[in-house]
Amino acid sequence: MIRPEMSQDNAKPRPLVRRRRLAAIAAALFLAAAFWPAAPALAAANEAEARAIFERFITAQNAHNADDVKALLWNSPATLLFARNIETRGRDAVADRFKTYYEGTWHLEPDMSKFHVAVISNEVMQVLVPIVFTRALPGKPPQQNTFLISQTYVRDADGWSVASIMPIANTELK
């Protein structure tokens, strides 16, 4: 609103202010144009990384190598394995839990044709994939069950790590 004591000339934006606004808008558009095309490439790169991490995880599991599994886990007390209605937290505890599974029959066969990655941010991804588990306690006959595995990966100073693992009984991805 123009006050009566202000002239019409005083109400107009100054040329310097106008130039700064235009420069700021131009800079924002330049940055958006410069980095926008990188988003699909970044998502594709992260999907390839997620697939590689997941495949290393499966290889370590099938080799019953708890040390290799532990190396893939996020070094945080928040690392989570929620399976068989038991919550296990922390890198060491999760690796130890897998060691107990390896005492019996333990083999994983993922259906990589249904492997899905959700890139949540530059530091977080979620993986979903159905896996046939062949498992049994020591001395017991093995059983096969299919679960949908949800894994969350986080990237920190050490690179990508598995932060959570949750098998879900319903394996139907739509």
pLDDT tens across the length of the chain (174 residues): 555 555 555 555 566 666 666 556 655 544 454 555 545 545 556 788 999 999 999 999 999 999 999 999 999 999 999 998 999 999 999 999 999 999 999 999 999 999 999 998 889 999 999 999 999 999 999 999 999 999 999 999 989 999 999 998 866 665
How far is Cα 11 from Cα 1, in angstroms, rounded to an integer? Answer: 9
How far is Cα 166 from Cα 107, in angstroms, rounded to an integer? Answer: 17
Domain ranges of the chain: 1-36, 39-168
Angle ∠(51,56,60) on CA atoms, nearest 5: 150
How far is Cα 116 from Cα 97, in angstroms, rounded to an integer? Answer: 26
Is domain 39-168 given the CATH code 3.30.110.60 in the classification? no
How far is Cα 5 from Cα 87, in angstroms, rounded to an integer? Answer: 72
pTM over 0.85: no
- Per-residue DSSP letter, 112: G
